[in-house]
Amino acid sequence: MLGYWLAVVRRLALPALATGVVCAAAMTAALVLGNGIPWSEAALQVLAAGAAGALVFAAVLSTSTVVSAARTARLYGLTLGPEAVALPSVREVRMPAIKGRTAFQLTDSVRHAVERDPVLRLDEITAFGHGTLSLTMRGPSDTTVSVQVRVTTGPEDTAAVVEVRPAATYKRLDAAACWAVARVVEKRVAQALRAEAAEAGLAR
């Protein structure tokens, strides 16, 4: 959890700095322009206000994010780590080539596995085709996430890439919702592909 918290703090560094600048500017306006205090006398108070604003912003937002992320990790039975901060959250499943199965058949199998999962909350399938599956899901705390699964087949291996991002593009912190959903979808994708590989082996 400490690694996740540090990653969140690094992500918040620039917004915290911007908040500090705003606080410093407000203090400058109040002391120098409003009260006529010389800049040399107000400088220390202005810098202190900026630093305090940045620290409070980072502390409050990082703490609330970590608490929500820890709750998310417990809900999905996962261990929280620094990789949970990255957006989009990308996972990959790779295995030996599944003979006799097309990308469409494998994608359809993945779709059924995801739909049957008791934890995932599917909102809508937005695209489904030859090697492509796109969905919107409800993550923890009703966070809406966009999920894309790309399945490729070749003579040597079969691969599936899971990519999850916040449906609202302005969100830079989502309390690990994308990471948690990506991990669960990855598990279902792996199960679906293994099942297809087993059936293909029996059919030969």
Rounded mean pLDDT, 135-160: 88
C-beta contacts of 146-149 below 8 A and 24+ residues apart: 147/181, 147/182, 147/185, 149/107, 149/110, 149/114, 149/185, 149/189
Please, which residues have CB within 8 angstroms of residue 176's CB and are 6 or more apart in sequence? 4, 68, 69, 72, 73, 80, 84, 85, 140
How high is the pLDDT of residue 169? Answer: 65
- Under 8 Å between Cβ of 83 and 179: yes
pLDDT digits (tens, 9 = 90+) for 135-146: 999 876 678 899
Q: How many CB atoms lie within 10 A of CB 60?
A: 10
Query: In whole angstroms, what is the distance from residue 97 CA to residue 197 CA?
Result: 8
Model-level pTM? 0.80
User: pLDDT grade, residue 61 (50/70/90)?
Assistant: confident
Lowest mean pLDDT across 36-45, 69-78, 133-142: 36-45
Interval 74-94: pLDDT, tens: 888 888 888 888 889 999 999
